[in-house]
Amino acid sequence: MRNYRHIEVRPIAGALGAEIAGVDMARDLDDEVVAEVRRAFLDHLVIFLRDQKVTPQQQVAFARRFGEPIEYPQLKGLPEAPMITPVVKLEHERHNFGGIWHSDTTYLPEPPMGSMLLAREVPPYGGDTMFANQYLAYEALSEGLRKTLEGLVGISSSTKADVTRTREDALKQAGAGATPKTLQAEHPLVRTHPETGRKALYTSDAHTACIKGWTEAESLPLLRFLWQHQVRPEFTCRFRWEVGSLAFWDNRCAMHNPINDYHGFRRVMHRITLAGDRPRV
Ligand code: SIN
């Protein structure tokens, strides 16, 4: 276990995820504290803070210590803080935004490096979010399959049917009229993390449409195997939200999946997305 001077880091599962104590997002943090939080983020892939009492502006200021906030495609930000995207499920709604295993917006040429999600209103039960470690998923593959994946490129699309369904209520709330245009990008199925140098699987059922140069029929058997493999229980953790909880995940090596098991209750989250780079082999 790594030693920290300013923060306390408590892993919540064997695979990934740690709760951090000793950080108040509302305060102007010391560089040393920020460096330790970043170290914990790189080691644990997703970190959680509890009981944060912050205004939207303070949330944005905190996010800026770790990266560059960017707007989320297709959804409007808060009027008072446009870099914050509300992720809301209302009492009468059935779909939860992003309710499928995914890495965020891999259909962009430079997908985000990470996202920060702050819980503003939570249901009395349910609405947890699961995360999965894609370094472990990659490392658990046979040497033979790891060799096969070398050089393979996945084509991500923003309009696969299952993920499109999860956005329907959010787009209605945002008053979006026209059907969003299709966004597409090509990325290696295995990427090397630019900060840790580790290799991670980089595909998802939500966004990967096929393998470049392969037909869909040829691609799907291999992709479906990877999509099942990459979220095996031993690669995951599950986070129970409370008002004031913040999750900060590394989109380059972790996937996530919010559980849709709280129909009839409201869940309101404020999300900031941080700019990333082009995934490299
Ligand atoms: C998302 O994919 O950004 C939503 C995560 C969540 O609601 O827990």
Q: Tens of pLDDT along 1-24?
A: 789 999 999 999 999 999 999 999
Distance from the alpha carbon of residue 258 to the mean position of ligand 1, in angstroms? 6
Residue 98 Cα, ligand 1 centroid: separation in angstroms? Answer: 6
CA of 260 to the centre of ligand 1 (A): 11
Report if residue 213 sits inside a domain.
yes
Distance CA 147, CA 160 (A): 28
Return the residue whose CA atom lies nearest to atom 8 of ligand 1.
258
Residue 162 has a pLDDT of 74
Catalytic site residue 2? no
CB of 129 within 6 A of ligand 1: the answer is yes
Q: Which domain holds residue 256?
A: 8-274
Q: What is the pLDDT of residue 175?
A: 55
117 C-beta closer than 6 A to ligand 1: yes
Active site residue 256: yes
Which residue's CA is the nearest one to ligand 1's atom 4?
A: 98
Global pTM value: 0.94
Residue nearest atom 3 in ligand 1 by C-alpha distance = 98
Asked if residue 279 belongs to a domain, the reply is no
The one catalytic residue in 102, 167, 187, 267 is 102
Question: For residue 182, is it within any domain?
Answer: yes
Does residue 2 belong to any structural domain of this protein?
no
Q: How far apart are the C-alpha atoms of 48 and 118, rounded to whole Å?
A: 10
- The answer to whether 37 and 23 are in contact (CB under 8 A) is yes
Q: Which of 167, 207, 270, 271 is catalytic?
A: 271
What is the structure's pLDDT at 167?
65
With a CB cutoff of 8 Å and minimum separation 6, the contacts of 266 are 88, 89, 90, 91, 121, 123
Q: What is the reported pLDDT for 181?
A: 81
| Residue 280: inside a domain | no
Q: Which of the residues in the chain have pLDDT under 70? A: 165-180
> What spacing in Å lies between the alpha carbon of 163 and ligand 1's midpoint?
12
C-alpha dihedral sign at 37, 124, 130, 271: negative
- Ligand 1 pocket residue status of 97, Cβ below 6 Å: yes
Known active-site residue 44: no
Is 14 within 8 Å of 132 (Cβ atoms)? no
State if residue 258 touches ligand 1 by the CB under 6 angstroms criterion.
Answer: yes
Cβ atoms of 48 and 10 closer than 8 Å: no
Q: Report yes or no on 117 lying in a domain.
A: yes
Task: Count the domains in the chain.
Answer: 1
Exactly one of 191, 207, 256, 270 is catalytic; name it.
Answer: 256
Instruction: Indicate whether 42 belongs to any domain.
Output: yes
In CATH, what number is assigned to the domain containing residue 138? 3.60.130.10
